[in-house]
A = this chain, B = another copy of it.
Amino acid sequence: MLGTIELGYLGPQGTFSEQAAVEFCAKNSLYKLQDFPSIPHVIRAVEKGEIKLGIVPVENSIEGTVNITLDMLVHEVNLFIQGEIILDINHCLLTRKGDVEIIRTIYSHPQALAQCRRFLYKNFPEASYLTTNSTAEAAQIIKKCASGSAAIGSRWAAEKYGLDVYYENVSDYEINQTRFLIIGKKEFSFNKPQKTSLCVALAKNKPGGLYEVLEEFAREQINLTKIESRPAKKELGNYLFFIDCLADLSGEHQHVLQRLKEKCKLVKVLGCYSTLKEANALGYQVK
């Protein structure tokens, strides 16, 4: 049975984004997955109403923020975060089936290459490294290449494209997770919201400005899980602050939001939502 709600993800098939989308949809057929060539394509398709939901990476435990996702949510579209899902990332070195040549060229997404940097530097110091738009694209490319090529990608991609897993777990760090956001046009949460993502701009660029903003969270004993200053697209030195906190600022803590609005030039709530790490264990359903 085909699903009835379209969920867009960063393709091609075999990406970690597809894996996150499949985990999000597991055990029900309410969703129909659709792949897009880039994160902006996913976000724009949701904005235009071509698809109902999108799933986009926002943060990796090693590489940090996926800037393009946050920037588009703040500057370019009016969408809301409805949930988040956290995926364990297991990078593998993939080769063509039966290829016994010395590996001379390694393809992958720049972030994947960066995450396996020490492993690659140690084992293939002489190889050439070529960047691709996704780990899955790297897998597609080596499928068609001459011998002696490899890709950094997932076991999932290896199965999808019929490749050998030459080495497993080649990431330089023991824990490697990526956080994905479910985004849609409505303010909505798949479960009782436990978390709020917001963006604030200070009224004046003066010492202690950010300190006064954080006072509102500290006073209520609200834990922050992320803070990041980002250029406000004007010049270096003019910043926006992205804040994630463990509270529902649309619900019981809406007075905090009110006080932030009094102190700041801009407060944009990107969403109040819950973590859907084990999505189906939490038993949400979309009607």
Contacts and interface: CB of A to CB of B under 8 A. Distances in A.
B63 A64 contact: no
A5 interface: no
Contacts of A145: none
A179 B211 contact: no
Contacts of A173: 233
A132 interface: yes
A222 interface: yes
A129 B121 contact: no
B217 A239 contact: no
Interface in A217-261: 217-218, 220-231, 233-237, 239, 241
7 contacts: A64-B65, A64-B67, A86-B236, A177-B236, A205-B223, A211-B214, A225-B237
A26 interface: no
A68 B114 contact: yes
Given A121-B40, A210-B227, A227-B227, A235 B114 contact: no
A207 interface: yes
Given A64-B65, A173-B233, A211-B211, 19 more contacts: A40-B117, A59-B236, A61-B231, A61-B236, A62-B231, A64-B67, A64-B231, A131-B131, A175-B234, A175-B235, A207-B218, A207-B220, A207-B221, A208-B214, A211-B214, A212-B218, A225-B237, A227-B241, A228-B229
A177 B234 CA distance: 10
